Structure formats: structure tokens, C-alpha cells
Structure 1
Amino acid sequence: MTVKIEHLTGGYGKRPVIKNINFELAQGEIVGLIGLNGAGKSTTIKHMLGLLTPMEGEMTISDINIKQDVETYRRKLSYIPESPVIYEELTLQEHIYMTAMAYNISKEAAMEKAQPLLKTFRLEDKLDIFPSHFSKGMKQKVMIICAFIVDPELYIIDEPFLGLDPLGIQSMLDLMVEKKDEGRTVLMSTHILATAERYCDRFLIMDEGQIVAFGNLDELRAQTGLEGKTLDEIYIHVTQGGQQT
């Protein structure tokens, strides 16, 4: 499985926010998508999800092009948004059922996969409660559970740690590593660079709508000439106009 983004240009209206974005994600890796606010991370994600139509470029998952078969393409990915999307009229269990329906999963299979996740995130006794009454962290856990009851090829995770308690953060990281070990691909947008450095295999750094560095930590060090430096130091260097070698 390979995720390919080729010559992607797009944004809102007629003004491009991202310009000629090119990258590939391999099977079984966690890639950190990092950049300043307004760098184009969310716009890139929205294009990959099919929520925005690109001005130019191609997006494929396992050779399925979003333009040619959008439904199959979308079923190959799962998404955890930065801000939880909760439906006031649905219980937690009904949120799980709705996700299952979108991916053609039976209710029984969905609940079987949900049970260990519900236990991990301490929501097993809240299936009949409306998540609209939950705290932000609990709502985020609903999004995580719904995303991980399916087995897509690509997980897109946007700022997953916002609102989570330390135990929830560690459980989320453990899930990401588990999926990586199963051969899934994870694209994670985050500002917590120390965690990204520890868990991500490669890093995609964006600035002003373009990719300014991409690779593992050693490759980023070589690209920037910052041997022995941390991801934080490399990030600050390239987003403040530092030159690459």
C-alpha cells in the first residue's frame, strides 16, 4: 500500500493555500505532519479526505484515485478530527453504529471491535449516554473509538492529543503503534514535537503552503546541515527561513 500525493495545489475559493505538494507514505509507518499555524496542514488533510476539491494534482491510496472512485478511496482511510464531531441526537453506541454503516461493517462486528477500545478509554459503561454531554476529552475518545473500529489502510489523525488526559494520550499512542505494526499507515498532525520525534518514522514539515523538509530524523539533519539536532531545533530552523543543504 502506498499513499501518493502528486502536484497537489488547492485551497479555498480561487486562492491556493497549498502549492505543488508532493509526497508518498509507505505501508507500516507513522508520519508526523508538522508546521506553524497556517502552514497548510489542515488544508492538505481536507484535500486528502475529499472535503476540498484540488485546483491541480492527484491523490491515490493503493492506486485508487479519489477522482475516479471517491467512495472506495474514502473507505481506505479513517479520520480523527482536531475538534470532535458529535451528533446530539445519537448515543455513544449509535455513533459506533453510524461509523459501521459508513464502512459496511455489521453492528455485531463493530461492537466486537469497540469493546476493548471502550475499556481502554473507560467508556464501557456509557454506551447509552449521549456524548454531547461528555467533556471534550471524552468526546475525543468517542472519535478515537469510532476511527479504530474500522481497518483502513490509512489513518489521518489531526492533533489527536488535545483534551486527552495523560493515560488517554498513552493509549492513543499505543493504538497508533499497534496499527503501524499491523501494516497500516498513520499520518499525524501535531505540535507536540517531542512525542512526534519519539513515535514517528518520518516527518513532513510544511511552511507557507509548501513542503520544506521531508524524511526521517537523520535525513532532516542532512537536509538542513543540523547534525545531532532535535526535531524541535530543525523545525524552528526551517520555519524561520533556514537554508537547506
Structure 2
Amino acid sequence: MVLELKHLTGGYSKEPVIKDISLNIKEGEIVGLIGLNGAGKSTTIKHILGLLRPHSGTIEVRGKTLKEDVEEYRRHLGYIPESPILYEELTLKEHIEMTAMAYGLTTEEVEKRKGPLLKRFRLEDKEDTFPSHFSKGMKQKVMLICAFIVEPDLYIIDEPFLGLDPLGIESLIELMISERDKKRSILMSTHILSTAERYCDRYIIIDQGEKIADGSLDDLREKTGLLNATLDEIYIELTGGNVDE
């Protein structure tokens, strides 16, 4: 198992945001973490990354908890946040080099991996450019390149499509499918269900801090009795039509 959460309860204060969540991610699958803003998706991700301490429950990555082995735990993870976080004084090339240094990549590995990524996201002529000259979408692409160059066992992606143009979205989807085919796994948080429906192998639905469903689209259709329903329709049925606050 690449990732396993067992009865995770937690949040930012004594009052829990997520309650008794258990889930797992297997090798070589794309899993959509589904829910509207405020459902608990980002809180769950922050716990997996070790940015929040659980009130109770455990989180294991490749069988290790953060407490048991911090370096081994984090070595298997690549993270792409919802909003790009870049250093204004570093060029695109220097962001790649800094990421490589953090994950212990060799110069040969970086040179082999970065070319296809730069070409995929149409940034091959921007290596010496600073973030101040990038649009929001280009900054998001820098984050994607830095995460995918690491080639971790598990990618955690928080609302990846915000700020990307249609070509960027297609490039990201193609890349995620390619990584899945190489037996790497992806946990992707999103509330854009029509896009997630196209390529996710499985969906974990969170509503008001609780996991209410887990399965493939066919599994969820069977669970709800909506045999030809879209993921949007299934979500509305399962949550009672909850909308964004």
C-alpha cells in the first residue's frame, strides 16, 4: 500500500475538521478526493504531508509513519499546492535545481527528466526567467515540473486545474496517466467533477469532514442506484445537494 489512513481525526484546533477518516491508495492508481470547498479535502492533505498533527488515528506512507522515519516518509511524496509557491529571486532552472537537491537527484537524472517536462508545459525557453515574469498559469506549471521531476511513489495534488489553460490541463492529465502507467500513484483533490470523471480510477467523497463514499464510478453508481449517472449527479445524491458556502 502506498498510502493508508486509519481512523484519522484532526484539524487546526481542538475542534476537529475531519472525523474518523480511513482510506488507502494502492500502487498505480489515480484517486480523486472529492468534495466542495470546506468539506475537509485540504485538511486531509495537510495531515498527510505532516503539516498538521492528528488528534487521533495514523497515517502511513509505504508502511512508515512520519514519527518513525521523517526522511523515508517524505521521500515518497511529491506535493503540488492549490496556489503556486515560488521564490522570486530564483529562475525556473534554479527552482528545478533546488528541488533536485532536496530530493537527492543526480545531475544526470535532472538533465534526463527536465527536458520532456519543460517541453510538455511549453516552458523550454523560460529556464532563465524569474517568477515575476510568469502568469499564474505559468507559475503553476513550474510547480508541476518541480513535483514531477522527482518521480515519487505518490503525488498529492490540490486543485491542480485552477489557473491552467485548456492545453495545460490536457498536458497535466496526460502526464498523470503516464505516471500511473509507471505504477506511481496520485491523490488529487478537486471539486471539478466533470474533469475528474474522465481519468480517475477511484473516488473518495468527503462531506462535512467525513468520508461518505469510496469506489470506482461503477461502484458509486451501484451504491446510489443511479446506473447511468455522472459523477456530479452521484455527488449530489450522496450529499443531499450540499453547495459551496
TM-score by length of 2: 0.95
**1:241: how far off?**
6.6
Classify 1:215/1:147 alpha carbon distance in 2 versus 1 (closer, same or farther; 3 Å).
Answer: same
Q: Over aligned residue pairs, what C-alpha RMSD do you find?
A: 1.3
2:198 partner SS: helix
Structure 1: how far apart are the matches of 2:35 and 2:216? 16
Letter aligned with residue 37 of structure 1: N
Deviation by residue 1:140-183 (Cα, 9 ceiling, x = unmatched): 00000000101111001111111111111111000000000000
2:157 counterpart of 1:157: yes
Match of 1:188 in 2: 188
Match of 1:101 in 2: 101
Match of 1:60 in 2: 60
2:138 counterpart of 1:111: no
Comparing 189-198 with 140-149, greater Cα deviation is found at: 189-198
Alignment of 1:1-245 (within 5 A): 1-240=1-240
Residue segments in structure 1 that go unaligned for 5+ positions in a row: none
The answer to whether the Cα contact below 8 Å between 1:35 and 1:239 also exists between their aligned partners in 2 is no
Structure 2: how far apart are the matches of 1:33 and 1:209? 12
Structure 2: how far apart are the matches of 1:168 and 1:57? 37
The answer to whether the Cα contact below 8 Å between 1:87 and 1:132 also exists between their aligned partners in 2 is no
Structure 1: how far apart are the matches of 2:107 and 2:185? 25
Structure 2: how far apart are the matches of 1:67 and 1:96? 28
The answer to whether the Cα contact below 8 Å between 2:2 and 2:154 also exists between their aligned partners in 1 is no
Structure 2: how far apart are the matches of 1:107 and 1:131? 23
The answer to whether the Cα contact below 8 Å between 1:79 and 1:147 also exists between their aligned partners in 2 is yes
Structure 2: how far apart are the matches of 1:165 and 1:98? 26
Structure 2: how far apart are the matches of 1:226 and 1:120? 38
Classify 1:181/1:141 alpha carbon distance in 2 versus 1 (closer, same or farther; 3 Å).
Answer: same
Comparing 192-201 with 205-214, greater Cα deviation is found at: 192-201
**1:119: how far off?**
1.1
Structure 2: how far apart are the matches of 1:220 and 1:102? 40
The answer to whether the Cα contact below 8 Å between 1:30 and 1:188 also exists between their aligned partners in 2 is yes
The answer to whether the Cα contact below 8 Å between 1:117 and 1:145 also exists between their aligned partners in 2 is yes
Residue segments in structure 2 that go unaligned for 5+ positions in a row: none
Structure 1: how far apart are the matches of 2:86 and 2:222? 44
The answer to whether the Cα contact below 8 Å between 1:96 and 1:111 also exists between their aligned partners in 2 is no
Structure 1: how far apart are the matches of 2:128 and 2:153? 30
**1:132: how far off?**
3.0
TM-score by length of 1: 0.95
